[in-house]
Amino acid sequence: MSDSDEVLAASDIGESDAPPVEEKPYKVIFEANRCFGAGKCAEVADNWEMDLASATAKPKSYFFDEGGLEENVRAAEVCPAKKGDGCIHVVDRRTDEEIAPDPHGDGTLSVDW
């Protein structure tokens, strides 16, 4: 299996500076290199904003609790990047499963780096 064929686990990304799972059990994995600045995420979620300098979106916070779950799931679902599969991924840190957009339907991380 080559490096490009390896399955990437959500816990492999951004956990070194993460708050405790008990406090913030969800996280966003954002494929910024796939964002083309449609702004749909910023329209539906307070956690997302458009960065005018780069003409792409960015999250205000990568880690959140139940209170931020619905809006971040909605942001992931409306993202038109990657032909509708989206470049915003909401992951449950407790199970390492992708909650949204989950285009594969099996909870595996659907990043495309």
What are the tens digits of pLDDT across the range 68-109?
A: 999 999 999 999 999 999 999 999 999 999 999 999 999 999
In eight-state DSSP terms, residue 48 is E
CB 60 within 8 A of CB 18: no
- Tokens at residue 99, please? 């909650």
In eight-state DSSP terms, residue 81 is T
Q: CATH classification of 23-100, choosing from 1.10.340.30, 3.30.70.20, 3.40.190.10, 3.40.50.12780?
A: 3.30.70.20
What are the tens digits of pLDDT across the range 10-57?
A: 887 888 889 999 999 999 999 999 999 999 999 999 999 999 898 999
Where does 31-87 show beta strands of DSSP type E? Answer: 48-51, 56-59, 63-64
Domain boundary assignment for the chain: 23-100
pTM of the shown model: 0.89
In eight-state DSSP terms, residue 75 is H
Q: Give phi and psi for 26, each to the nearest 5.
A: -120, 155
CB 107 within 8 A of CB 97: yes
Check pLDDT > 50 for residue 2: no
Task: Calculate ∠ Cα 38-99-102, nearest 5°.
Answer: 65
The pLDDT, as a whole number, for residue 102 is 94
